Structure 1
Amino acid sequence: MKNKLQNFIKENWRYMAASFFIPFFIMVFVYLSIGIYPGSSRSVLASDAFSQFSNFHASFNNMLHGKQSIFYTWNASLGLNYLSLISYYLGGLFTPLVFFFSNQNMPDALYLITLLKIGSAGLSFWFLASHTFDIKKWAHVTLSVPYALMSFATAHSELIMWLDAFVYLPLIIWGIHRVMDQKKITLLFVSYLLLFISNFYMGFMIGIFSFLYFIVRLFTNWKQYKQSILPYGITSLLAGGASMIIILPTIFDLRFNGETLTEVTKFKTEATAFWDIVMKNMVGVYDTTKYGSIPFIYAGLLPLLFCIFYFVTRQTPLKNKLLFGSLFVVLIASFYIVPLNLFWHGMHAPNMFLFRYSFLFSFLIVLLAGYGWEKFKTDDLGIFTGTAILVIALFALAEGSAPTGSYDYISLTTFVITVLFLILYTAGIAFYQLKKIPGRYLSILLLLVVCAEAFINTSAMINGVLDDWNYASRSLYTEPYPDIKKLVDQTKEENDSFYRLENLNPVSSNDSINYGYSGISLFSSIRNRNSSAYLNTLGFRSRGTSLNTRYPNNTLLMDALMGIQYNLSKDNPLKFGYTETARSGEYGLYENSYALPLGFLANESIYDIEQPETDNLTSQSNLINALSQQQQNFFTFYTPIITNQQNVKIEENASSVTYRETQSNVAKEITWTVNVPANTQAYLSLFPTDFGQLQSSTATMMVNGTTQKSQINITGQYYNIGYYEVPTTVTFTVSFYGTEAVSFMEPKVVGLDTAAFESAVKEIQDNSVNLTVSGRKATGTFSAEEDQMVLTTIPYDKGWTAYIDGKKVPIEVFKNAFISVPVSAGKHTLKLVYLPEGFKTGALFFVFCTGAFILFVTTIEKPKRKRARRRQRNRRVK
């Protein structure tokens, strides 16, 4: 076995290296062309890579270095099931490479991992091609390069967690071939298992496609392949069962906290049109990866030609044409029919980055191209040339007949380049057929042309991402890092008990999981929707499905309740009770004297309080009053007076006001004046009447020499205009920018009575339950004078278990959001332990299914070994 492997590598190392390094270095040079390289000023962080993937990979680095548990993180909003986060964002085999990078250098880590995944996809397809297609060895490489650099992969290259799927897909199909042709099952089991563990989302799509592929191939030769049904079925089920160690906890988490299914309200998908399939097969066609895009299906012109040739040559049996053609029909139908499209996405409509399964179309093109290439014979030049002419005619017809304005992103240059490459491929093959080029050189010639085409297309995709999303400057990520990290580390040294911190000038919405502090803000597809929805009720903006939960623009009451003990800020936050305690660079560290601990004692009546979803100030007041057992009137409303306005037309209605710009692309600026009483924390209340109007609208508040900037539709409604010990006339200016008009409920100034606030918070502090957190546990000791509840601000999740004095006790859920535990009078020790729901069962599945697979392999391989030994003995006798 060892000698066989050594001989294989010795014979094929150059082709393997080429399959890996050609796509690798094409990406290197394309990135270099736009100024991205290790240490460059422009980073590889585009789109969600800046706010999500860089921070999530940094958190994985923290986990690898023992700074947090693999099961739970206290640093993603209020707390989160970290294993579920891994299952979607961080499950790949390449992710542990972040161990060798500092969090400050995470842009370089993501750059390297992206290149490695692209190169590995090419190598993976080479293994499939070299064991499947009877063509020249360099031809295998010629197919591997366009697969690794297909438009879907490069146009979505910033979505690094999806790239693992392109590595495993060819191995899974090769594994299916080995099961069907050789009754060897190990590769399929391992590939399926790694895929499902790496990313359950893409794993679902590939799992469906690979099953359909097996069915199609099964019917190409039923008599031969029917015996593979049982091995394939058992292997697939065992691989799926073994992956339950990750998948099962994720399923339970998504069922409790995840997305709701999308309702089917129409038949045809939006933005798709008749010529999409043709247009998106041209070289360098990038429309957008935001809303309104059409599928990215380009996989190279040479694979396209040989794929079509597979269907037109007489050497392909009609049955095979119909069977494999049916896979294309299913995929194309899915692009246009909403229910089918939703099915591939798990019945949940994607948030941008549409048609996420379209890479399967590209893969099928390259796969069938290999089958077409091996059927290409000397006398097929006429058919191949006719195919090329037909493709050129289709591109020309689509370009000429498409409705005006429907494909504006496709230029005449794109069409000309596409036709030139088609002519080059046809000419090269014609010269070979006419014996003008030796056969051993044809594959290398085609490979060179394919590489040139791949470079042009990849460049177009990466530049499309640059225009669409922009690759963020490295300095935006790295420059604030030392100062923020220094101050965060200082807070950790000063505290033993749990506390929370928020940055008023954040690098991104997910800073906390990177720097290792607990906060409020989170932007993630994996989140606790129940607690986030409750936070929205309390004034932390978390609309809709709670994809975004944001800290800015709320009141001191919520700072206290959520245990916000520190703010980082470049300017004085102008908050009552906050005192600057340290400074590093531009950032100051401000400590809050009124932060509450992670838990506090409360009476059972806490469950009966009314908290209207549409009135967060009443929700806040009722909760704080119930916890403090007081009846304070915290908030008073004042009407500010407009004293100046620039570039704005004001339109007043019965209950709302609209500010409309008079000159486009210039900020709408309004200055207000208001009289603020003594001992008052003041806020401007801006509640949008139409959030859809505000997708890119920002508000900038200028008051007392400080500036606050926020995205209106994402952050809360209470814009801080300062704390005042004495009666003060306050003048403040707000600039609105990004949309033609913004509409709000009539703006009011909200005054928080700081004396009432101080009285209530001190009463709650007297009932504190200080908890210390470590890994997936929280512990603390307290005394209760009567039977009460320990209410925490830990998000409730079914994975939590509570122990009082070492005995397991039931957990009660507060407002379907937070953990609370009933306790009797006396001194107690509380311990909360987290283990994702379903993990133990999933681990048992993993052990059982892996063991069953090993037994199954032994059962299959044992007769083979007996036959081999018998043949060996017979040879010795002879």
Structure 2
Amino acid sequence: MENVNHPPEQKIFGIFPAFPERDHLWYRELFLLFYFGMLAATVLNRLFSGSQAAFLLMKGAEFIYAPGMIFAAGCLMGAENPAREDFRKRTLRKALYAILLFYGIGFLNEIIINHRAVFATVKDLLAVLRIPDTAAIFLTLCVLFLLCAFCWPWIEKCLKAPLLLAAVCLAGFLFSFLPEGLLGYGVIGVFTGSDRLGAVPLFPYLFVFFAGILTARNFSDMRIPETDAAGMNRNGRHASLPEIFTVCKPLIPVTAIALAAGAVLAVLHLKHPAALLLGSGCAYICLFISAVLLPVYRILEDFFFGLLRRADRFRLSVRRRRESSRPLDIFLYYVGYCVLFLIMAYLIFVPYSEAGRTLIWSVDGLGQYVPKVHRFLSYIPFIFQDILQGNFDFQQYDFTSGLGATVAISYDPIYWLYLLFHPSQVETAYSLLIVLRYFLAGASMSALVLYFKRSHYAAYTASMVYAFSGYAIYAGTRHGQFLTPLILLPILVIAMEQLISKKKWYLLTVFTALSLLCSYYFLYMNTIALGIYFVTRILCTKEYRNFRTFFTRGLIIVGSYVLGAAMGIISIFTSFGSYMGSSRTGGSALSDFLSTTPLFYRKEWISDFFISFISDSFTPGMWLKLGFAPLAFLALVLLFTRKNKKELKPIFIIFTFFCLFPIFGYIFSGFSSVTNRWCYIYAAIIAFILAENLEHLTRLTAKEIKIMLGIVCLYAGIIFFSTKYRTDKVFGVFGLLALTTALILAINHDRLTIPKRTARSTVFAVTMLAVVLNANMFITSASEDGTHLDTYVESGKSMTDMSMTALKYLDQVETSGDAGDDSADTKNGTENDTSGADDGFYRSTNLKTYGDTRSSSLIYGYNDISTFTSTLNGGIVDYNRAMGNCDWNIVSIYSYNARTYMHELASVRYLGTSDDVKLPLPYGYKKVYDKETKKRTYSIYENQYTLPLGYTYDTVTSESDAGNLSAAEKQELTMLSAIVEDDAMADNQNLTEADSSSLPLTARKLPIRKIKASDGVTVKDGVITIPEGGGTIRFTFDGEPNSETYLSLKGDLYFPKDAAEHFLPTQIKAKDISYQYRFRIDSYSTNQEEYLFNLGYHEDSISQCTLKFKDEGTIHFDEFAIYSQSMDTYPQRAEALREHSLENVKVDTNTVTGDITVDTDQMLVISLPYQSGWTAWVDGEKTDIQKVNYQYMGLNLTPGTHSIRLHYQLPGLHYAFLITAGGAGVFVLIILFNFFRKRRRRKMAE
């Protein structure tokens, strides 16, 4: 047959033919008739599940639809002209449509009907490990059309040789006799049948397929094509009913034979071949039914395609208007973006809903974020009420959490959306606002790409790669506010570009102010990034590469930044003020960095960085989270081979360099620790590089292809030859890389002419698939400790988890004298209630505080010592380090490890616990309340020696003197003498200076009789070496009765200097005590020199304790020691502190008042954390506040009766309001001045 050239078909939406071929109308009807007939029967069976008739109808339809559709496929191929130049292309298009239908219908069937997990469904469908019944036929049709595309000459040979054709059909039919389950893999089942997964077999139905081809050819031969005046075919004509009956007559004997043979095989119990023949025979009968229904189908099809043509004309009309209207173009882009984001967000986050989880991470979410939202909802209305009434002394201090702290008000606009929700809806609101932040992150990247006039295709791709990058997935689901810089950075770059190119400064000012209000920390990192961008942009642009432009633009930028900072400065005086008062700044942080961090990361850091580039699940550590789509990885090649925006290459090199050295993680973290939370900047760079080069990926040179293949081979070599990377997750992302590379190679192959629209769509679809699968591999990951999803709160359980504290029943405890059970046994040898805190201020805390309940006091309103905040008061840090506390880290105070003296000085009155806590009570506590629940029994104990909020000392000791003592001795010293800063000793000369050596310290260092290491642990030359699997060290000593006993571990306990995160979980066990501790080196390390593990108070002596290490590791130490703190003199010491104490205590908004009478010079200690912002008045005269006992406030009092008043105000708050108002005023004046100046110039020009 001679080649025939056909004009290109007119397409609807670039996909569907505007006028489908009339010759193929009957074949299209057959497809729909058989498939939807099967679906209808299935639906009826579901609706009438108990009906036998409905069940038989469904089974009958299942037998008929497969041969019917394969017959229709044969008809389609028989109607094709193999001589057409585009024959193979048309056939491959049919295969593509079939496989898309398989995946689309299969996915919906598994998710909606079978309720399977999304990630598992996608994985199984891609690997053809599962074949849904409703989609199975399309996988078979795809394979069939692929065979036709590449093996058609052989098929023609069979059609021309009847004997060969019969042999092939018979050989194929014999496969139906294979036993069930012999061949189990889905793809094999597509060919041979007898498959456990429900695949429709191809080989047994070959006779049906060939019958379809022959029928179509007979049908074509008997019809004369209709032509127009020019002699051209007018797309054929519709088939008539007589024509169909005529062409189907030869099939009647075939049908009879099939039905008869099928009946015989059924009698012989040969199920599969019988069902195949009977179904084929019935399918042939249905051909006559289709002929009757053909006119109805023609009307419906014409109506459907008419609607499509109208919709396409409307699309083209909008497209023409969009090309001439930029606002419309952007609006339509964001409409599409909304749809795309909803689809992507559903696919990525659906594992959470399937597992019944929220987006609340149980560690930080319950530990601080959700409780702070509840607190925010409670105090914000009162703050507004105060301001509206002209009272600017609104609540600025919160006494409930962490001994007391500044009220941290978030100025993030998204955070304020919580006010739209009721407190009972916080859990839902929390997850919704996290998803909203992801949406805005992608939208801001879209704005950046569109600003530089890149295509919608590039903007959609880059925005999804950016919004769902490894950093975003990791940080966003754990810390929602960490998505804020992803939102702001692209907008700040646009503002910077506006200033550089158009000298428009106001956008930079506005977004600087907004950034500062959202987070000074993120603005700090963004400022570094923008500074680098500005310098490279100037140096790489010939037009701007001169000193005048550099300095003039630079000065405008500085001015804009300063004005924006002035407008948002209120956050500096709140959040940043807390940061500057915390332990995460200053020389100690620098010295810690210099002493514990090397110049380089560990030796395998570069290979870790390379492997993690496309993996969400694998990370080098230290918060370096990459996980980009493989397409972005390949696009980096074009950054160095093509002409891009000139500044992109140096920026990429600079920030890649930053990824490789710890010093830059330290700088970006604000000089507090080595953390790479700045890597969202790197994500923005990679996403924009992808957008810049996306169009070029379909037109690669041979050199570029070779480089890409080399990178893929290098990646493969690293993961295949290193056991570290040989994991399922890494292999999974490598598979995505290989798939993406294969697609790029296919698109760039010379012999494959793939239309631009098709190439774009395919690349986009594969990239979105990679983003979804990469994220899902991380979200569904698991380890020995459980799955990733297990760390998120179950739906509806957030309040329950935060309420697992006995202190939620505190309001039911009236007084220690008459509350609770009168028969509750007296603990620790105390019989009489000598508490001095019957009224006024007191604290309540948990014997053991878990991560979920660290901030429960924010919800229930009791005053606690536990807290969770990223800006922990520096004095609190100093105190816990000095005391050797082992139940805290740099952002959290869990508890005081049940240590009596520490609780006493913190004015703790009530102690909550439950029967599953294996810790003995501190000395002097009596049970006053019990509450049984389904899971546990809660108890509340009252301290019989509670100190009030203010108590007094008559002696002082310098911190340098106290520094010579052990942690146990320093703890006791705080009960005997007020420890003050060395510089303050001169201000306290009226008080007796007590040398620590002269005080009656009773803490004794006990001799250790034996140290026994087992399970491979070695203790030698100040080093504990623990093998893989862990081990134990047991200490034997002679304890003392009526004492609190401690195990002290002193020295440089930290791991080797390799800038890596190390953790060593350890269990501390003694007589009736067992709790966990985790030695750690990371950004939350306490860096303390001594750890004092409380072995508990015991009336009788104890003689043994054990350290059980759970993993391998190395600990360096200077000394092991056992200390015993006798409680014989404790009641007298507590009474001495209480003798002259603060009375009539009232705690109001930001204010503490009380009265005190002293007969000698005394140091009044207020058990509130020392913090700038407090002002004290004694008898109406302002008095200096001193830092006492490392963390508390102290007032030097002279003999007499005094009225005490303390008031807290955010330092510089009034100045903040003035500067903010002034900055906003200046901004408005400048805008107005420029407006009127331009207006005047226009008038003068006219």
**TM-score, length basis structure 1:** 0.81
1:127 and 1:493 mapped to 2: Cα distance?
A: 60
Correspondence list, 1:359-374, <5 A: 359-373=680-694
Contact 2:911–2:940, Cα closer than 8 Å, also in 1: yes
Change (3 A) 1:174 1:425: farther
2:421 and 2:1102 mapped to 1: Cα distance?
A: 48
Correspondence list, 1:728-877, <5 A: 728=1100, 734=1106, 736-739=1108-1111, 748=1122, 750-754=1124-1128, 756-770=1129-1143, 771-814=1145-1188, 817-865=1191-1239
2:1049 and 2:599 mapped to 1: Cα distance?
A: 36
Partner of 1:198: 518
2:975 and 2:609 mapped to 1: Cα distance?
A: 59
TM-superposed CA distance for 1:651, in Å, is: 7.0
Pair member with larger Rg: 2
1:142 aligns with 2:461: yes
Q: Secondary structure of 2:1094's match?
A: strand
Cα offsets for 1:826-871 (capped at 9, x unmatched)? 3332222222334443333322222222222223333444567789
Partner of 2:707: 390
Unaligned ranges ≥5, structure 2: 1-321, 384-392, 816-837, 979-991, 1056-1061, 1081-1085
> Higher RCO, 1 or 2 (CA under 8 Å, sep at least 6)?
1
TM-superposed CA distance for 1:512, in Å, is: 5.1
TM-superposed CA distance for 1:300, in Å, is: 2.9
Contact 1:56–1:513, Cα closer than 8 Å, also in 2: no
Change (3 A) 1:52 1:487: closer
1:91 and 1:465 mapped to 2: Cα distance?
A: 36
Cα offsets for 1:347-402 (capped at 9, x unmatched)? 3432xxx432222222122224334457x5xxx95436753552232221343268
1:538 to 883, 886, 906: 883
1:498 aligns with 2:829: no
Partner of 1:581: 928
Q: Secondary structure of 1:30's match?
A: helix
Change (3 A) 1:480 1:32: same
Partner of 1:215: 535
1:133 and 1:740 mapped to 2: Cα distance?
A: 55
1:864 and 1:821 mapped to 2: Cα distance?
A: 61
Contact 1:128–1:170, Cα closer than 8 Å, also in 2: yes
Q: After alignment, is 171-180 or 856-865 more displaced?
A: 856-865
1:574 and 1:674 mapped to 2: Cα distance?
A: 21
Partner of 1:236: 561
1:131 to 442, 451, 465: 451
Q: Secondary structure of 1:837's match?
A: coil
Contact 2:698–2:744, Cα closer than 8 Å, also in 1: no
1:313 to 642, 649, 654: 642
Contact 2:449–2:459, Cα closer than 8 Å, also in 1: yes
Which amino acid in the other structure matches residue 1141 of structure 2?
Answer: S
1:685 to 1047, 1050, 1067: 1047
1:414 to 733, 742, 748: 733
1:32 aligns with 2:350: yes
Correspondence list, 1:317-716, <5 A: 320-321=645-646, 323-350=647-674, 354-373=675-694, 382-383=699-700, 387-400=704-717, 404-405=722-723, 407-408=725-726, 411-425=730-744, 427=746, 436-437=754-755, 439=757, 444-463=761-780, 471-472=790-791, 474=793, 478-482=799-803, 484=805, 487=808, 489-490=810-811, 497-508=840-851, 510-511=854-855, 514-515=858-859, 516-541=861-886, 546-553=890-897, 555-571=899-915, 573-584=920-931, 585=933, 586-603=937-954, 605=956, 610-612=961-963, 614-626=965-977, 634-635=1002-1003, 665=1029, 668=1032, 677=1041, 680-687=1042-1049, 691-692=1053-1054, 695-701=1063-1069, 703=1071, 708-711=1075-1078
Change (3 A) 1:18 1:801: farther
Contact 1:275–1:398, Cα closer than 8 Å, also in 2: no
TM-superposed CA distance for 1:596, in Å, is: 0.8
Contact 1:281–1:297, Cα closer than 8 Å, also in 2: yes
Change (3 A) 1:412 1:574: closer
Partner of 1:116: 436
Q: After alignment, is 169-178 or 231-240 more displaced?
A: 231-240
Q: Secondary structure of 2:495's match?
A: helix
Q: After alignment, is 248-257 or 99-108 more displaced?
A: 99-108
1:79 to 388, 404, 422: 404
Change (3 A) 1:273 1:592: closer
1:286 aligns with 2:617: yes
Change (3 A) 1:120 1:758: same
Change (3 A) 1:254 1:487: closer
Cα offsets for 1:738-792 (capped at 9, x unmatched)? 14589895564625234x1111211221211144333432222222334433222
2:1242 and 2:754 mapped to 1: Cα distance?
A: 47
1:445 and 1:674 mapped to 2: Cα distance?
A: 75
Contact 1:104–1:481, Cα closer than 8 Å, also in 2: no
Partner of 2:594: 263
Contact 2:359–2:430, Cα closer than 8 Å, also in 1: no
Coordinate RMSD, CA, aligned:
4.4
1:716 and 1:59 mapped to 2: Cα distance?
A: 34
1:686 and 1:789 mapped to 2: Cα distance?
A: 31
1:15 aligns with 2:333: yes
Contact 2:885–2:1093, Cα closer than 8 Å, also in 1: no
Which amino acid in the other structure matches residue 504 of structure 1?
Answer: L
Which amino acid in the other structure matches residue 239 of structure 1?
Answer: G
Q: Secondary structure of 2:791's match?
A: strand
Partner of 1:719: 1094
Change (3 A) 1:270 1:230: same
Which amino acid in the other structure matches residue 738 of structure 1?
Answer: K
Change (3 A) 1:266 1:688: closer
Which amino acid in the other structure matches residue 767 of structure 1?
Answer: H
Which amino acid in the other structure matches residue 334 of structure 1?
Answer: F
Unaligned ranges ≥5, structure 1: none
State percent identity of aligned pairs. 17
Q: Secondary structure of 1:236's match?
A: helix
Cα offsets for 1:78-103 (capped at 9, x unmatched)? 223344xx5xxx55332234456687
Which amino acid in the other structure matches residue 777 of structure 1?
Answer: T
2:1039 and 2:1196 mapped to 1: Cα distance?
A: 46
Q: After alignment, is 565-574 or 733-742 more displaced?
A: 733-742
TM-superposed CA distance for 1:518, in Å, is: 3.3
TM-superposed CA distance for 1:592, in Å, is: 0.6
Change (3 A) 1:224 1:700: closer
2:505 and 2:1053 mapped to 1: Cα distance?
A: 53
